[in-house]
Structure 1
């Protein structure tokens, strides 16, 4: 019997080992620094590969040493820039660019990803008109395929099978996906909607019954489509690393519910430095490896005039991405024959060096909870026109509030409801940035958060109405596009904003004042209020602040918002003084604190400036950090410069004399 038991246990062990060996271990996502090139081949691409050489690719990889290279494969026109047998190849392929890129990246042991347009494929619709998405006017889309069509199974997945089999590519960055997906009014879509929801009418406008349910139905279909092709491709190659561009980001604020391997997006807006601060904060809490792509040139959507950015510009963008723990990549368009712009390799290498010098202090770092700014999933869905996009300055108010908080040297994270709702108590202050709608159950959780000792700041003429029972005010008239003069700290600003007028009840105090004329002798009106509720406090700003900070920025507005925060949260872990041109994040990496100091000087917010090559340094910066014990060392990185410090009453005090673009103070405990 003893030997039988031993034999049984041995068989169990062998079986377990066999199972373990047959279960593939996922390849590590190494995407700290990369280069992306594409050119969206089309019907007029007649000389593909003509001047592309192995030598130019070899030179770039030798000097830049990226973790990965992303190259053109199939762009929005739907033509492939390699000789595909599955899809539609470009009409004139002289040399196979993908073969060249694969051979050289393999030589350098660098991962090769392809840029592949997903939902958006004009050529597929030309060949298969029945694959087109149908809009509410029953018109066929000429660019975007239907999520209910056979496109994904008949073209997309088979083409990836070809790419994996013939080129052994390592991954894909699927473009033209979430932001291209549209609500589908085709026969198959409507039949599925009626079957799933029981709603028989066809809602075309927000006022129609079932409209938001219909959009959510289409959103679920999009996520199902992504999950389908991701799982199918992983079946072909379990080590293949794939994402859908901008999925699970600011413009698709959902909990990650499909098996994408990483998150990514390309930043194409003009206010690119502050946009990097915003987008990085939206991706960081999503629980996946992530990176952001800066365009290597400044693009004006209103005119065909692109100018290439200097290394300094790109380093300012990279600083925000790295400071939140992410990876960074740069996009340069390929020439129309698929060759690369070798004249930009010097800039690539300089930015790569900048990032590598900071990698060990930033990559994968996590933020220390201080202030949370809500990027609301439910608020987004009531505000966006379509499924998942950011068209029409959708986040202007939120970004303006973030910029003002960062300009006040506040440490701010951005979280969606699914990331925040179970961590409310970790944050000293939560800011609601001009959302017109929040789910009632989440509002209830915020109410409890305040009663239990949290601090809540609600900003916006309509947002304050969601919390009117807590604010301790009586609501008066709502006034749109009102000329206002908010004053604070012996100064006055001029703004144009929507306003919710209020009168204060007992126990609620006014913060700052409005001035009917620009004279501090005549205050009249309540721009903000503060009220204790339970063990916590709630503050409200009764006008739309964010757009004004974006369009009519003044020190008064910056100091006003920082003053509101200080009323609720006067003693943060980290204080940085000496310049309002420094943005700050506080991270934890192992047993070390990392204080990220980003220089925001320079004309990056000026739409008339396409390129600049100089940013004046800032400093000295006086810094204090509350700690449980005296640090063993404080150093300034990169460079490993020791910083003298004092430690008293649980706080370390020290000075950084100068910050050029991006410095990191490492505090060893």
Structure 2
């Protein structure tokens, strides 16, 4: 099976960014009718913003410009995307284009053959009850997943090409990528067979799932960079510490954490240290709101925004705060006054953070167990001990000590690497089951003891 690889170019990223959400139902009248260039520019100046993601197509499946390929929002009467891009460029603000991939309600409704299917051929969805009656209340965040293959793939590539031809493109931001799990639609079943893969084997289905996404990414990148070689490209849903590596197809890693919603404030430091090892610029994404996307009425205090932005810069990462554009297209100036309090400070320090290299001499070995890795990272942070991530195959000589956080993570090759590291003068702190072989039968490292078996009790204490 051939891996598809087209390395995305390296770019320098502005540090004061906004992700402007705009998922707008067809039931809302007069979409974009109050957009005003001057009011838009006033908001961006108030916020000290130099980058804002603007919408070409949303989760409802509607486009916000006069598309000949997709479907323009039925109550939109203007080229909202084009006016937003022009207004940004007039004041020196970059405006990458947002495009949904995995969720597109109108496309799922009109082309059910484009949806992701499970092994039984049923649609794969989030919070969707296919037996619900029309009058039943629909839960929030209800979407069917779509597969980047066949006719849907061709639609997305054609619309990407159309956008590249219509506008001065700064970048693309593709959303809801790689998160549905393997697909068993007719296109994917045929693709697996063509690759000599057995769809009945989970490992083969996962291999094809990754390959299918890589091919989609490579095709998008080829279209984009043919006419806009310096454009940024990001596929959201791909920046998992434990998932497949999609970084070669992206110009940057974006870490969407929303600390007041999921993960808390401890999640971002470990992720930033991990993705530093990928060698690409990074962006951290929080929100101007307290809960999650779609919360129009929430306002974090400027001090909270300033703290979050300062932490991003301190970890060598550009800043991004999520906002919601009103369906009529009018910016909320109070939001940008708040964000401006944070970004005024970022302007003073942004030259000292993004692109910087961690200098910690303590390494945290990623074990593959989130509870162990995150728990160990939390203990180090609570002890005011800075750390960098250590990985198999990496040069470990910069570290005085490497911590193995508890999860079983070693094979013969990585164990030999750690033994060589110790022989060269390094030290190890081994927690939990980190020194055990995958079969949990013996130690792969010399810990000064032999392995007898698992503990009899859930909690053990050493005094």
TM-score, normalised to structure 1's length? 0.59
Residue of structure 2 aligned with 1:283, choices 251, 275, 285? 275
Which of 31, 41, 57 is the matching residue for 1:48? 31
Structure 1 residues 172 and 274 mapped into 2: Cα distance closer, same or farther (>3 Å)?
A: same
Stretch moving more, 248-257 or 70-79? 248-257
SS of alignment partner, residue 116 of structure 2: strand
Contact in 2 for aligned 1:148/1:188 (Cα 8 Å): yes
Identify the match of residue 257 of structure 2 among 259, 267, 277: 267
Distance 2:263 2:113 in 1: 40
Aligned residue in 2 for 1:220: 211
Q: Residues 596-619 of structure 1: CA distance to partner in whole angstroms, max 9, x if unpaired?
A: xxxxxxxxxxxxxxxxxxxxxxxx
Q: Which residue of 1 aligns with 2:139?
A: none
The 5 Å alignment of 1:483-494 reads 483=459, 486=461
Deviation at 1:438, TM superposition (A): 4.1
Q: How does 1:371-382 map to 2 (within 5 A)?
A: 371-375=362-366, 379=368
- Aligned residue in 1 for 2:185: 186
Secondary structure of the residue aligned to 2:286 is strand
Please give the secondary structure, in 2, of the residue aligned with 1:193.
Answer: helix
| C-alpha distance in 1 between matches for 2:83 and 2:190 | 47
- Is the CA contact (8 Å cut-off) linking 1:292 and 1:328 kept in structure 2? yes
Question: Per-residue displacement from partner, 1:323-369 (whole Å, max 9, x unpaired)?
Answer: 22221111111122333222111111111111111112222111124
1:300 CA displacement: 6.4
* Greater length-normalized contact order (CA 8 Å, ≥ 6 residues apart): 2
1:126 aligned partner: 109
SS of residue in 1 equivalent to 2:25: coil
**C-alpha distance after superposition, 1:458-486 (max 9, x if no partner):** 333x43423724223243453588255x4
Q: Distance in 2 between matches of 1:85 and 1:479?
A: 65
RMSD between aligned residues: 2.8
SS at match of 2:42: helix
Between the aligned partners of 2:169 and 2:118, the Cα distance in structure 1 is 36
Aligned-partner Cα distance in 1 for 2:391–2:212: 21
Change (3 A) 1:36 1:305: closer
Which residue, out of 456, 459, 465, partners 2:436?
Answer: 465
2:378 to 403, 427, 443: 403
Q: How far apart, CA to CA, are the structure 2 residues paired with 1:194 and 1:442?
A: 34
CA distance in 2, matches of 1:220, 1:43: 34
Kindly indicate whether residue 395 of structure 2 is the aligned counterpart of residue 423 of structure 1.
yes
Deviations 1:498-554 (A, max 9, x none): xxxxxxxxxxxxxx42xxxxxxxxxxxxxxxxxxxxxxxxxxxxxxxxxxxxxxxxx
Give the whole-Å Cα distance in 1 for the aligned partners of 2:406 and 2:386: 20
Structure 1 residue 115: Cα displacement: 1.8
Alignment of 1:158-197 (within 5 A): 158-178=158-178, 180-196=179-195
Query: Whose radius of gyration is greater, 1 or 2?
Result: 1
Q: Where does residue 57 of structure 1 map in the other structure?
A: 40
Q: What is the CA distance between 1:183 and its match in structure 2?
A: 0.5
Partner of 1:244: 235
Closer/same/farther in 2, CA of residues 97 and 311 from structure 1, 3 Å limit = same
SS at 1:88's partner residue?
A: coil
CA contact (8 A) 1:373 1:430 kept: yes
* C-alpha distance 27-464 of structure 1, shift in aligned 2 (>3 A): closer
Deviation at 1:213, TM superposition (A): 4.2
Contact 1:250 1:279 in 2 (8 A): yes
Kindly report which structure 2 residues correspond to 1:173-572, keeping only aligned pairs within 5 A, or say none.
173-178=173-178, 180-196=179-195, 198=196, 200=198, 202-203=200-201, 211-250=202-241, 252=243, 254=245, 256-258=247-249, 260-268=250-258, 269-299=261-291, 307-375=298-366, 379=368, 395-417=370-392, 421-460=393-432, 462-466=433-437, 468-469=443-444, 470-478=446-454, 482-483=458-459, 486=461, 512-513=462-463
1:200 to partner: Cα distance? 3.9
Q: Name the CA distance, whole Å, in 1 between partners of 2:263 and 2:148.
A: 33
Judged with a 3 Å threshold, the aligned counterparts in structure 2 of structure 1 residues 91 and 439 are, in CA distance, closer, same or farther, namely: farther
> Is the 8 Å Cα contact of residues 318 and 328 (structure 1) preserved in structure 2?
yes
Work out whether residues 390 and 396 of structure 2, in 8 Å CA contact, stay in contact via their aligned partners in 1: no
Residues in 1 aligned to 2:65 and 2:288: alpha-carbon distance in whole angstroms: 24
Does the C-alpha gap of structure 1 residues 85 and 46 become closer, same or farther in structure 2, counting only changes over 3 Å?
farther
For 2:183 and 2:338, locate their aligned partners in 1 and report how far apart those are by CA, in whole Å. 43
Q: Report the number of matched residues.
A: 431
Q: Distance in 1 between matches of 2:92 and 2:233?
A: 19
TM-score w.r.t. the length of structure 2 is: 0.84
1:141 pairs with 115, 120, 124, which one?
Answer: 124
Q: Distance in 2 between matches of 1:375 and 1:242?
A: 27
